[in-house]
Structure 1
Amino acid sequence: MVLDVVLSVIALIVLFIASFCDWKTREVPDWLNYGLIFAALGIRSIFSIKLGWNILLSGALGFLVFFLIAMLFYRLRQWGGGDSKLLMGMGAVIGISLPFDSSSLSLLWFFFSLLFLGSIYGLCWMFYVAIKEKKVFLKEFRSQLSGWKTQVGLGTLSLTFVSLGLVQTFLWYFAIFPIVFYYLFNFVTAVERSCFVKDVSIDKLTEGDWLVKDVIWDDKVVLKKKTLESDDLKKLYQLKAKVARVTIKEGIPFIPSFLLAYLMLLFGKDLFTWFLGILF
């Protein structure tokens, strides 16, 4: 369908530009996110005149579902404003086809792909940062591993699986999972504390940074810890002469995960079939 091609091309262009901006500046322009939302709904409106209003309703439903999810993730401080707005735009692009059929699940498939590929991408990025900042990372990582609570927890889990393995032999294979989880959890925590939490000047703040400490001036809290929005940045810029530095946790440039997930949605089935063809 021509509509699908037009929406896909626009989405890919926006995702490529947004990924580049996120890599370079850790910030995605609002006009790009809002542009995707209005373009997707506008194009659907034009096509719906000839093809029926289900075309527009499909995009509106997709936008609404991802709007609710984006707000949830934003309130939980898992995503910044740019990620949330882009998710809404992708909801308008992908939509929920009406009447319901197998293609109506494309929105769900994209979201799960985003979470899965985003996790892999996030871990790869953390490994890159850990290698780049290996001195400060290793110091924090060793400190994490030396904690008696985590060692006791690891020992308890491993002992549990070993005991169960005496009853069911196949459970021996699962004994490695507590060890992997233990080191992975401590690795992620060490990277966040040593490489992502920083004291920076207000000039270097960007929308989406996580403020991990309240900003205090003259014994008053002028800004509570939160994900920074454009209004917060304006407020902090006004206090630049009074507040020298603030403590933030930098986020991972997550937008490339959107691009990977959308490519998976468009070509994943063909790639999976091709891979099975090679194996069998």
Structure 2
Amino acid sequence: MIMKIDVIDVLIMLTLAWILVAVYQDFKKKEIPNWVNFSLLIFALAFRLFYSIFSNDYSFILWGLAGFAVFFVLANLFYYSRLFAGGDAKLMMAIGAIIPFTNSWFDNLLIGILFVICLLSFGAVYGLIYSVSLAFGNMSEFSREFRKRVYENKQYILLDFLVLILFFVSGFFLAESMLLLIGAIIFVLPFIYYYTKSVEQSCLVKYTSIDKLTVGDWLAKEIKIKNKTIKPSWEGLTESDISLIKKNYRKDVLIKQGIPFSPVFLMALLVLVLIKYLWASDWGLWQFF
């Protein structure tokens, strides 16, 4: 069932423009400001509300509220499982108010699932490519950090190698190729961890002057000020933390930066746009199943 396709087109175009601003801010300031996320959310709901009032069809705003509610839960799940930073989670909530494009609960469900699948799959590929580019751009620091981690964990790597041999021998004698695959995955996992931590330590941890600290910045190590210790946390620095640091701390602060994730939201939304305009002009995604 079609829901005011021309109105949806306007909503999509303005949303793409908003996300481009988020991408720009993310790369420039290493964060998505609250004003970008909240203004997008307010715009989406206000747009839906005004259209519902003038068209006397309140399903338009109700679907927006429903999408926001579902993505609010998902965004918090991703945030507290440490998949998303705070800005990314807020951007996801705002997009949740936008992507219910039809009056069909089934099509809206498929659109939401497709968006989340694209977000996570593109995010994995994007994160890998971005981290590899960081490693190559800081090769000397990265290789030094990686060798150090491998050396410090050589006993675990030896154990890991013995597990690999055990799985390969078992797979060979039992003629089970799955055991070979499991053994290879188990062997590779520690190196992926060492690689990730090495990229983080050598490329994403930087000293920042106290006057450039912002709410949500991640401390790379704790700061002791008089009788108070500010410890690293997933929520990042608070206003009171920054105020305390500026008043009583004179050194630069070691901050852990994140990977700008907003381009993945843009890519995932573009997939939905391409599906609409190339294959499913009425958003009838059920035809693909």
The TM-score normalised by the length of structure 2 is 0.82
SS in 1 for 2:198: helix
> Given the alignment, which residue of 2, 5, 9 partners 2:6?
2
How many residues align structurally? 271
Asked if residue 200 in structure 1 is aligned to residue 208 in structure 2, the reply is yes
CA change 1:140–1:269 in 2 (3 A) is farther
| Distance apart, 1:53 and its partner CA | 1.6
Q: Which piece of structure 1 moves more, 128-137 or 193-202?
A: 193-202
Asked whether the equivalents of residues 210 and 252 of structure 2 are also in contact (C-alpha less than 8 Å), the reply is yes
Deviation, 1:235, is 4.0
Tell me how far apart the structure 2 counterparts of residues 180 and 44 of structure 1 sit (CA, whole Å).
Answer: 49
* One-letter amino acid of the structure 2 residue matched with residue 106 of structure 1: I
Distance apart, 1:51 and its partner CA = 5.8
Partner of 2:245: 239
Q: Which amino acid aligns with 1:171?
A: M
Alignment of 1:168-207 (within 5 A): 168=175, 170-171=177-178, 174=181, 176-207=184-215
What TM-score do the two structures reach when normalised by structure 1? 0.85
Give, in angstroms, the shift of residue 134 of structure 1.
1.2
Q: Structure 2 CA distance, aligned partners of 1:81 and 1:151?
A: 39
Q: Aligned partner of 2:40: which letter?
A: L
**Match for residue 88 of structure 1?**
93
Please say if 1:156 is aligned against 2:160.
Answer: no
Task: Give the counterpart of 1:142 among 144, 147, 167.
Answer: 147
Q: What SS class does the counterpart of residue 247 from structure 1 fall into? A: strand
Aligned AA (1:189):
K
Kindly state the Cα deviation for residue 158 of structure 1 after the two structures are TM-superposed: 4.7
Give the Cα–Cα distance (whole angstroms) in 1 for the partners of residues 128 and 279 of structure 2. 23
1:255 aligns with 2:262: yes
Q: Is the 8 A contact 2:163 2:187 kept in 1?
A: no
**Farther off after superposition, 23-32 or 193-202:** 193-202
Which residue of structure 2 lines up, in the alignment, with residue 214 of structure 1? 222
Describe the SS at the equivalent of 1:240.
Answer: helix
**8 Å contact kept, 1:37–1:88:** yes
SS in 2 for 1:166: helix
1:60 aligns with 2:68: no
* Structure 2 match to 1:266: 273
Residues 167 and 86 (structure 1), Cα distance of their counterparts in 2 relative to 1, 3 Å cut: same
**Measured at CA, do residues 94 and 191 of structure 1 come closer, stay the same or move farther in structure 2, by a change above 3 Å?**
same
Q: Which letter does structure 1 place at the counterpart of 2:271?
A: M
| Kept after mapping to 2: 8 A contact 1:33/1:86 | yes
Cα distance in 2 between the residues matched to 1:163 and 1:96: 52
Alpha-carbon distance change, 256 to 151 in structure 1, aligned in 2, over 3 angstroms: farther
Look up the SS of the partner of 1:213 in the other structure: coil
Q: What is the DSSP-based 3-state SS (H/G/I as helix, E as strand, rest coil) of the residue aligned with 1:239? A: helix
Structure 2 contact 220–232 (Cα < 8 Å) conserved: yes
Can you list the C-alpha shifts for 1:200-252, whole angstroms capped at 9, x where unaligned? 3222334443224333211323x4422456x8246414532421233332111
Residue of structure 2 equivalent to 1:276: none
Task: State the distance in 2 between where 1:236 and 1:253 align.
Answer: 23
Give distance in 2, aligned partners of 1:77 and 1:103. 27
Determine if contact 2:142/2:199 at 8 Å carries over to the other structure: yes
* Distance in 1 (alpha carbons) for counterparts of 2:105 and 2:165: 47
The worse-fitting range, judged by mean Cα deviation, of 254-263 and 150-159 is 150-159
How far, CA to CA, are the matches of 2:101 and 2:279 in structure 1? Answer: 23
Q: Per-residue CA shift, 1:60-88, capped at 9, x if unaligned?
A: 11111111222233334443321121111
Query: Once structures 1 and 2 are overlaid, which stretch shifts more, 1-10 or 169-178?
Result: 169-178
Paired-residue identity, %: 34
- Unaligned 5+ segments in structure 2 are 281-289
1:48-127 alignment to 2 at 5 Å? 48-49=52-53, 50=55, 52-95=57-100, 97-127=102-132
Q: Which residue of 2 aligns with 1:225?
A: 232
Quote the Cα distance in structure 1 between the aligned partners of 2:190 and 2:82. Answer: 24
CA distance in 2 between partners of 1:196 and 1:151 (Å): 29
Distance apart, 1:18 and its partner CA = 0.7
